[in-house]
Structure 1
Amino acid sequence: MKTSDIGNLLALGALWGGSFLFMRMGAGEFGGMALAGMRALVAGVCFVPLFASAARRTEMRQHWRAITVVGITNSALPFVLFAYAALVLPAGLSAIFDAITPLLVAGSGWLWLKERLSRSQLAGLLLGFAGVLWLIGDNVHIEGSMQSVLACLACVGATVCYAFSVHYSRRRLAAVSPLASAAGSQIVAAIVLLPLTVAAWPATSPGASAWGAMLGLGVACTAIAYVMFFQLIARVGAARTMTVLYLIPAFGVLWGWLFLGETFSAAMGLGCIVILAGTALISRPARIGNRNGVQVEPSM
């Protein structure tokens, strides 16, 4: 890769890792639901100019049902679940949980779609989930509350939604340009979440820092990040772009430490290493044929 492409890849990882920082900063004042809704609304507005193209409007009309499903499962629901978790969990821990998306994509494809996994991929699947259980168990031990358990499960639920969206998009949106799919799904998410956002709007208006976090979340970490993602795929290919999956938790932990004073415990480090090791094994193409390889799209 060119130096500029490596820089863009790092920037993308920084943006998607930063989404957990911004959620943590804004969730306390906006509330999980209102923050998620505003994120989708801001991102959707940023994407509206893309539909000046007649071709993209045609794609949206022809595939609106599938785009609606993806908008709900890949944006609306994960946004709400991660924003809820941000009320309780440190930004770094939520970012680490996000790294299990490739494991869930591979696991669900293996269990329900009969996609074959090599021995190393199966080992990666088991290793990754062991890391998830380790993190949940460690968090329960430290926090000792049901709320923290529910927050961890919300993060896992968000990644389940992402995994479903990957499989669904491959089958129903293969003929749609990726950028049109991303733009349409964000607009759908904004429409779906708007009534709930209004109903859950906080009685006390959020402060300037919370508004800044929300705008950063919607503009930089969602709209701009998706455009960068598809530009990278066009220049360096999907396989190299997927290395951003390893950068998201690293930047999530880094931003939480730098800006929020979060601690990075040895237990979190061990869980992160185990999950990323499992992801690395899962991401390796199987030697028995291309159709057995597992390719995963990033989630944030």
Structure 2
Amino acid sequence: MAGFGAMGIFQIVFLVGMRHTTSTHSALFLNTSPLWALPISWLIERQRPRTGGMIGALLGFLGVVLMVGQPDATARTTLLGDLLTLGAAICWVGVTLIPRPLVARYGAVPVSTWMLMGSLVVVGLVGARDAVQSVGDPPGWGAWGALLYTGVLAMVGANVFWHRAVQRLGAATTLVYYYLQPGIAMMLGVVFLDESVRLTQVVGLLAVFAGVLVAQRAAITQPAVRVADPAGQRAD
């Protein structure tokens, strides 16, 4: 369900939504996932949000708003694009919550593999036509390298680490780390793309780190969760 449904739909609605909205709107709506995780975890898993977790999530989102900055007034945005991106954020909460019992039983590696294979079926069916059309005009080596990076490291590796963290810290706390993405992208842009950084972006980055720290400190007080590793052994 998490693979075919949540993860597959996430990929589709996120990419389609980006075509109909700005990158600013996309970043803001996508980073609402930790905020959605609080009530959804409460409803599905009966996990009452901790005060520290709620403060960390709100502080992190404020930091993202500061880092993204003001949207381009000349850019084209639509309600459809914003709603699709918001739907992608909610889907990612499902990707995080749904497989938790399976990860606890079988481990993060096999569950992440099943989820990615399931999402590949959904994305493959939707993108089959474009894939066939690209045969006549294949992409360059740079595009293939980007595909290899996103497929192996960004998808497989990141999902394994992500689901292990969910089992140990809980969904709401782990999702707060989602806010680190814009900050890391900003720092990489400075190093590799010679991009400039505004003071508000630095303040936003500090707010994100503060939010993650607050959420992490709240998670330390939670009891440890026993997690099954891929070899079938259990570790605290």
Q: Same fold (TM over 0.5)?
A: yes
More helix as a share of residues? 1
Given the alignment of the two structures, is residue 222 of structure 1 paired with residue 178 of structure 2, yes or no? no
Ranges in structure 1 where 5+ consecutive residues have no aligned partner: 1-68, 294-300
Q: Which has the bigger relative contact order, CA under 8 A and spacing at least 6?
A: 1
TM-score by length of 2: 0.64
* Residue among 281, 285, 299 paired with 2:214: 281
| Counterpart in the other structure of 1:33 | none
Shift in Å, 1:85: 6.3
Aligned-partner Cα distance in 2 for 1:288–1:218: 35
Aligned-partner Cα distance in 2 for 1:130–1:278: 9
| Counterpart in the other structure of 1:89 | 23
Secondary structure of the 1:284 match is helix
Secondary structure of the 2:106 match is coil
* Residue among 178, 181, 189 paired with 1:256: 189
| Counterpart in the other structure of 2:59 | 127
TM-score by length of 1: 0.53
Aligned-partner Cα distance in 1 for 2:89–2:113: 20
Secondary structure of the 1:222 match is helix
Work out the number of aligned pairs and report it.
213
Secondary structure of the 1:175 match is helix
Aligned-partner Cα distance in 2 for 1:148–1:267: 27
Label 1:287 to 1:262 Cα distance change in 2 as closer, same or farther (>3 A). closer
AA partner of residue 109 (structure 1) = S
Within-5 A mapping of 1:27-176: 69-84=1-16, 89=23, 94=27, 100-110=32-42, 113-131=45-63, 138-140=69-71, 142-147=72-77, 155-171=85-101, 174-176=104-106
| Counterpart in the other structure of 1:5 | none
Are 2:67 and 2:201, in contact at CA under 8 Å, matched by a contact in 1?
yes
| Counterpart in the other structure of 2:234 | none
- Report the aligned-residue RMSD: 4.2
AA partner of residue 176 (structure 1) = Y
Label 1:264 to 1:89 Cα distance change in 2 as closer, same or farther (>3 A). farther
Aligned-partner Cα distance in 1 for 2:87–2:202: 22
Aligned-partner Cα distance in 2 for 1:258–1:149: 34
Aligned-partner Cα distance in 2 for 1:72–1:189: 5
| Counterpart in the other structure of 1:196 | 126
Ranges in structure 2 where 5+ consecutive residues have no aligned partner: 226-236
Shift in Å, 1:209: 1.9
Are 1:70 and 1:169, in contact at CA under 8 Å, matched by a contact in 2?
yes
% same residue: 23
Aligned-partner Cα distance in 2 for 1:257–1:155: 26
Aligned-partner Cα distance in 2 for 1:149–1:207: 34
